[in-house]
Amino acid sequence: MICLGIEGTAHTFGSGIIEDVNGRCKVHSNVLRSYQPKEGGIHPREAANHHATYASDIIYEAVKKADIDFSEIDLVSFSQGPGLGPCLRTAATAARALALSLNKPIIGVNHCVAHLEIGRGTLDNCKDPILLYTSGANTQVIGFAEGKYRVFGETLDIGIGNCLDKFGRSVGLKFPCGPDIEKLAKKGKKYLKLPYSIKGMDIAFSGLLTAAEQYISKKETLEDVCFSIQETAFAALTEVTERAMAHTEKNEVLLGGGVASNTRLREMVKIMAEERDASFFVPSKDVCIDNGAMIAWLGCLMYNSGIRMNIEDTSIDQRFRTDMVDVTWRE
């Protein structure tokens, strides 16, 4: 089975082609392009315009790189949510047009679940992980329990990536700011105390953001503030992830999302996993960030488990929650 997936929840438009080879995901191509705001954060309509401009080029390139013909595609899938309305609508429109013109089935998938499934589909021995999903807008700790992917903990205000980007912008860094903050943090030496807010299993970052900005106006060095943000925020993420692992008695942890590129976050989660005798997994970078291949793979799993959608079922859902999905393709 060959599936073409389309991703467009936020800044990235991507198209990937995968094949189900005995239940494992083989990625044939995975092409993407990200909208870069000239200043400030992501403007949903401008990001959607970017997606509309490049959608057909990216889809054609994905097909070319996979070295297949359009007629060999068995299924089209796309990210139905959560995400920014105008971006989701653009990606969904592209997917519907493609499925209708090829006369092939279409499946809309949950973006967050796709981050988890691509880990299971591409990494050997990653079977039943707790996913720490850290991206711009989303921050969730997700695991499978009783037929659903449950959210054990999540941000109560802003995503961790958003927190880093907002802080970065306030000190003049270029978007996305995470990579620069990581570089600066490596040179930081002094730990400055920041709010560490875990409420139950959920996390809040806006207090930390405000306090970090205040340290800058009090003339603490940018390096020390970046170091302290990372140490505090990532420790909180690691703590919630560990609690979810303890609660569910799972012994695998998987990272996903753009912030998972960060070496310090990886290190902290890896140490936690080792201390619990658990396995630590990070997908390769091309499928860890927002991408079309993971959307294709989840579409394929859903289709093979018997799920079918009509065009009427493919409307987008900006607030599509991870735990709304009936997981029919695994136990």
Q: Which residues bind ligand AMP (CB under 6 A)?
A: 10, 135-136, 161, 164-165, 176-179, 182, 257-259, 261-262, 289-290
Question: Residue 152, class by beta-carbon neighbours within 10 Å (0-12 exposed, 13-18 middle, 19+ buried)?
Answer: buried
Q: How far is the CB of 138 from ligand AMP (least distance, A)?
A: 7
Report the residue number, 153 or 258, with the smaller CB distance to Mg ion.
258
In the list Mg ion, ligand AMP, none, the entry touching 15 (Cβ below 5 to 8 angstroms by class) is: none
Report the residue number, 143 or 178, with the smaller CB distance to ligand AMP.
178
In the list ligand AMP, Mg ion, none, the entry touching 289 (Cβ below 5 to 8 angstroms by class) is: ligand AMP
CA distance 240 to 114: 21
The only residue of 29, 110, 134, 135 in contact with Mg ion, by rule CB under 5 A? 135
Q: How far is the CB of 305 from ligand AMP (least distance, A)?
A: 26
In the list Mg ion, ligand AMP, none, the entry touching 204 (Cβ below 5 to 8 angstroms by class) is: none
The answer to whether residues 116 and 133 touch, using CB atoms and an 8 Å cutoff, is yes
In the list Mg ion, ligand AMP, none, the entry touching 252 (Cβ below 5 to 8 angstroms by class) is: none
If binding is defined by CB under 5 A, does position 242 make contact with Mg ion? no
CA distance 50 to 223: 34
> Which range, of 75-83, 130-138, 219-227, 317-325, touches Mg ion by CB under 5 A?
130-138
Report the residue number, 178 or 188, with the smaller CB distance to Mg ion.
178
Report the residue number, 63 or 164, with the smaller CB distance to Mg ion.
164
Question: Residue 193, class by beta-carbon neighbours within 10 Å (0-12 exposed, 13-18 middle, 19+ buried)?
Answer: exposed
Radius of gyration of the chain (CA): 20
Q: How far is the CB of 235 from Mg ion (least distance, A)?
A: 22
DSSP state of 216: H
> Which range, of 77-85, 226-234, 266-274, 282-290, touches Mg ion by CB under 5 A?
282-290
The only residue of 52, 290, 291, 303 in contact with Mg ion, by rule CB under 5 A? 290
The answer to whether residues 222 and 171 touch, using CB atoms and an 8 Å cutoff, is yes
What is the edge-to-edge ordering of all strands in the sheet holding 279-281?
148-154, 139-145, 130-134, 252-256, 279-281
Alpha helices in the chain (DSSP H): 44-66, 85-102, 111-122, 160-170, 178-186, 206-217, 222-248, 263-275, 285-288, 292-304
Distances (CA, A) of 303 to 74, 126, 127, 213, 330: 10, 22, 20, 47, 13
Report the residue number, 93 or 262, with the smaller CB distance to ligand AMP.
262
Report the residue number, 24 or 264, with the smaller CB distance to ligand AMP.
264
Residues that bind Mg ion (CB under 5 A): 135, 290
